[in-house]
A = this chain, B = another copy of it.
Amino acid sequence: MPRAGLDPAAVVAAGAALADEVGLTNLTMGLLAERVGVRTPSLYKHVSGQEDLNRRIAVLALREAADAVGGAVQGYAGRDALAAAARAFRTFVVEHPGRYAATIGVEPSGPDDPLATEGMRVLGAFTAVLRGYEIAESDLDHALRMLRSLCHGFATLQAANGFQWSADIDESFEWLIAFADRGLRAL
Contacts and interface: CB of A to CB of B under 8 A. Distances in A.
Contacts of A153: 148-154, 156
Contact of A148 (B139, B141, B142, B157): B157
A104 interface: yes
* Size band of the interface chain A makes with B: 35 or more
Interface stretch (A10-18, A72-80, A158-166): A158-166
A82 B180 CA distance: 17
Nearest to A161: B107
Contacts of A141: 165-167, 172
A81 to B, nearest CB: 19
Contacts of A108: 164
Interface string A124-150: 000000000000000101110110111
A4 interface: no
Contacts of A160: 104-105
13 contacts: A116-B164, A142-B171, A145-B157, A145-B176, A146-B150, A149-B154, A150-B153, A152-B153, A153-B154, A153-B156, A156-B156, A180-B183, A186-B186
Given A25-B105, A149-B176, 12 more contacts: A104-B160, A104-B162, A139-B175, A141-B167, A142-B172, A145-B163, A146-B150, A146-B176, A146-B179, A149-B150, A150-B153, A182-B183
